Amino acid sequence: MGSTADVKIRDRLRQDILSGELPPGTRLPIAKLTRRYGVGPMPLRVALRELHGQGLVTMIPHCGASVRAVDPAFLENIYDLRIAVLRMIYEKCVLYITNEDIGKIAAVQDHLEAATEAGDAAEIRRLNTVFHATIIGIARNQEAADVLERNWILIDSLRARYGFHGRMQDANKIHRKIIAALGKRDGAKAFELARISAERSMHGFLKLMQSETA
């Protein structure tokens, strides 16, 4: 996106949207945002365009930007997209993956399980991202990787808000099965496991959203 300052403003704005400080439907005029965040209009315009690309902000000509609702329908669309792209990723991954790659993925999983045991939420989120990013990188499809990165930014931000709520133990078991499937170069099996994990993640978020509105 550019400078570190620009990235910080984007991340602050995104977190305020996901935390509910800027509720769905909130208008986001540049003048209001400059007062709120104490920065000039240019980094805010860049941030709004990027958040629009991630689906968090709607931008209508002559009407400006506003916060989009992160509702169940939007969440399901995000996961539908992720699952569709992951199918292609795993099909490609098994064509290129080496035993050295599998060792690296397993090492990340070792650390992830240790972080889970320690209850280190920030490290769990970081290592969970590394686990998936390592597999995605092996597939040698940068365009698909870019789609999943934008997709993951939203999911990881929701993780920061809601946490894993005990689901990481289940995810770790699936990760081990994915590693085993990749070791056998069974892309279909690895994808099916990834699909199951993604759907369980989505349903977990949906339950948390429903509990907030109950």
Q: What residues have CB less than 8 Å from 111, skipping those under 6 apart? A: 123, 127
Q: Taking the CB of residue 141, how many other CB atoms lie within 10 A of it?
A: 18
pTM of the model: 0.81
Kindly tell me if the per-residue pLDDT of 162 is higher than 90: no
pLDDT at position 61 is 84
Q: Are residues 39 and 103 in the same domain?
A: no
Kindly tell me if the per-residue pLDDT of 1 is higher than 50: no
Q: Are residues 11 and 110 in the same domain?
A: no
CATH number at residue 55: 1.10.10.10
Q: Give CA–CA dist 84/66, Å, rounded.
A: 28
Q: Which domain holds residue 105?
A: 72-213
Would you say the C-alpha torsion 204, 13, 50, 108 has a positive or negative sign?
negative
Least confident of 41-50, 52-61, 108-117, 192-201: 52-61
Mean pLDDT of the chain: 90
pLDDT tens, residue by residue, 31-64: 999 999 999 999 999 999 999 988 889 998 878 8
CATH number at residue 194: 1.20.120.530
Task: Report helix, strand or coil for 169.
Answer: helix
Q: Are residues 84 and 185 in the same domain?
A: yes
Q: Which helix (H) or strand (E) holds 214?
A: none
Q: Are residues 57 and 97 in the same domain?
A: no
Q: Dihedral angle at the C-alpha atoms of 53, 13, 8, 73, nearest 10 degrees?
A: -40
pLDDT at position 32 is 94
Q: Are residues 117 and 165 in the same domain?
A: yes
Higher pLDDT pick, 172 / 18? 172
**Percentage of the chain exceeding pLDDT 70:** 96
User: Which residues are bridge partners to 66 per DSSP?
Assistant: 27, 58
Q: Are residues 97 and 166 in the same domain?
A: yes
Least confident of 36-50, 115-129, 148-162: 148-162
pLDDT at position 26 is 92
Q: Are residues 88 and 183 in the same domain?
A: yes
Higher pLDDT pick, 11 / 190? 190
Q: Are residues 35 and 87 in the same domain?
A: no
Q: Are residues 151 and 175 in the same domain?
A: yes
Q: Are residues 113 and 54 in the same domain?
A: no
Q: Give CA–CA dist 87/79, Å, rounded.
A: 12
- Read off the pLDDT of each residue in 13-34 and give the average, rounded to a whole number: 89
Q: Is 17 exposed, middle or buried (0-12, 13-18, 19+ CB in 10 A)?
A: buried
